[in-house]
Chain A
């Protein structure tokens, strides 16, 4: 038991928290980027432009159906063959953004579909252009409905960030590995610590998601 508690020195805990910070930082940056890119792709796919929408749709489907780990490997080990050499942090953010943008594109598309067609018809009948209808009428209503799935996606993103340990991104899981790599008896305490940290962050987020979901149901 004493051995167990010894693992939680202030140095180790601060080191873990630094890892958690990188996890959150990478998640927030790629979350924001993939939100913008994903929304754009989702709208394009929904709009059914000839050729463009089909191509975008196909690329989104391919990215959604590949393992994220493969995309991370490709970004970090594959791209240098094309002369694109990204550092660890940028590779991780790029890979996560590409994958999550494809996921968010689908969320956005189904969010738009869930807005009743009468909204579009009404807006168009009042003289708004297609783009104006999308921007002023459809998207605001769609995003309200999308909050719960978007929050779940952010939780997935935070969990998925751990995969970047394979390209030695210094995030939470990697920092735990460094600590128990130096002292094997710290293994169980470290696993417990990072499990608790991930749990607290993600569970709180999921509560926010459910809260928005309930509020959405009431106003809808």
Chain B
């Protein structure tokens, strides 16, 4: 196992970097989209609510692989993009639906008196949302958002399907050239665990602290 790690160190590290990069970019995009759709789902406008609801339900109920392959196989015929870009877009859209649900739950968990107080003090709807409600909502949803990021890191292995040169892809390449499948996959697993395991313990600690 040490052998495979030292001989293919640069491949593993390169893949690990791509995995992290793709996860972080997808996280940023999906946070923006997710928060946006969470707000659209609760603004006082039935039509807008319905559109946001449909968006969220579509991406929650279709496999990530189908979303990603759609960008990699179909969209790429109209707009050229690499596997990494297609995969990251797929990840971002897919995750945004879950983040929207999380943020929406957070917004609804903020005490109604906060909104009433802010509105009574003359703030507009959007000011109330931006200055009063969202900051409190984000505090509540930090642990579930952290768990979404863990899922995102794990899900980024989807890049292996679209030649995204991520950790999983590199692992497969190494496994198929060295035939040392067990050791390679164990090393790949350890690389994933380096990010996900400490993060998941920290999120559990935060959950317990908040509860």
Contacts and interface: CB of A to CB of B under 8 A. Distances in A.
B128 interface: no
Given A78-B182, A162-B63, A199-B62, A65 B192 contact: yes
A69 B66 contact: no
B188 A77 contact: no
A64 to B, nearest CB: 7
- Interface residue tally of chain A, by bracket? 35 or more
Given A65-B193, A70-B188, A78-B181, A187 B74 contact: yes
A82 interface: yes
Residue from A82, A159, A160 whose CB has the most chain B CB atoms within 10 Å: A159
Contacts of B57: 199, 203, 206
B65 A173 contact: yes
Interface residues of B, number: 36
A21 interface: no
Contacts of B182: 74, 78, 81-82
B196 A195 contact: no
Contacts of A163: 63, 65
20 contacts: A64-B200, A67-B156, A70-B157, A70-B168, A70-B188, A73-B185, A77-B181, A161-B63, A162-B65, A162-B66, A166-B161, A173-B65, A173-B66, A173-B69, A187-B73, A191-B69, A191-B74, A198-B62, A199-B61, A202-B60
Shortest Cβ-Cβ A-B pairs, 6 listed = A202-B61, A65-B196, A67-B157, A159-B63, A162-B63, A67-B154
Interface of A: 61-62, 64-70, 73-74, 77-78, 80-82, 155, 159-163, 165-166, 173, 177, 180, 187-188, 191, 194-195, 198-199, 202-203, 206
